[in-house]
Amino acid sequence: MSPFTGSAARTPSWEHLRVDLTDGVATVTLARPEKLNALTFGAYADLRDLLAELSRERSVRALVLAGEGRGFCSGGDVDEIIGATLAMDTAQLLDFNRMTGQVVRALRECPFPVIAAVQGVAAGAGAVLALAADFRVADPTARFAFLFTRVGLSGGDMGAAYLLPRVVGLGHATRLLMLGDPVRAPEAERIGLISELTEEGRADETAHQLAHRLATGPALAHSQTKALLTAELDMPLAASVELDASTQALLMNSADYAEFHAAFTEKRPPKWSGR
């Protein structure tokens, strides 16, 4: 995403999210604990717009996506979204479904790593938000459920049919998306859906530790690595190695690359600038 901004000012506050930016780490919290952080139309739109704004913030080096209370996110609010969509026409439904997909694209295309801190339920759209993150840090209470077929819809919602096979393999993805059965933390770790399993109640703390590690590291290298991981999913090998070569040539001209050599020569830790 381009760092250049138009005349619009940065959004001072967000109605449907709690946002904090400290030492290069943005923490975005879904804050409807009484509803297990179920998503509304406004929450989707705020996530889409916030990620675009943060992507233009040179100060953001990593992002933690969390849910307040005992769950990460229970998916779309049954009354406020599912009930409302029954009254929409095709054009309105297409606009809504495109918006949810834009959130997933924003998570994949933002120029900083995203860590989902998962405790309790991550269901439906909540499971896809976690899936779209670069890391999923979860505690033993975590359970993932791709529930779309359970409500009569395609399991391939919000990019799930694209992302999930690439994370856990086609066999597991078919089972999870077709049947909608919940996957608890031990199995989720076994099949690769969880990046790191923590002790109970420590997912948020561990996610922030990882975020701070990333935020104090070589941000340009992290950004380009994320971009290549996403771009090369569908590339043939020849195109991938050519893109890798071009990227490395650019980064070999970076201040961080020169800083590593200077730090190595002087026997000190590097001071990364993200330049």
Instruction: List pLDDT tens digits, range 47-70.
Output: 999 999 999 988 899 999 999 999
Max CA pair span of the chain: 67
Mean pLDDT within 4-18: 83
Residue 238: pLDDT above 90? yes
pLDDT at position 92 is 96
Over the stretch 157-169, which tens digit does the pLDDT of each residue have? Answer: 999 999 999 999 9
Band (pLDDT 50/70/90 cuts) for residue 32 is very high
**pLDDT digit string, tens, across residues 124-146:** 999 999 999 999 999 999 999 99
pLDDT at residue 8 greater than cutoff 70: yes
| String of DSSP letters for 127-178 | HHHHHHSSEEEE-TT-EEE--GGGGTS-S--TTHHHHHHHHH-HHHHHHHHH
Q: Is pLDDT above 80 for 243?
A: yes
Residue 1 has a pLDDT of 59
Q: How much is the pLDDT for 49?
A: 96
183-184 β-sheet, strand order: 121-123, 143-145, 183-184
How far from chain centre, in Å, is Cα 5? 23
Mean pLDDT to the nearest integer, 65-84: 94
pLDDT of residue 160: 97
3 pLDDT above the threshold of 90: no
**What gap in Å lies between CA 154 and CA 263, rounded to an integer?**
52
Q: Does the structure show a pLDDT above 80 at 80?
A: yes
pLDDT of residue 11 exceeding 90, the answer is: no
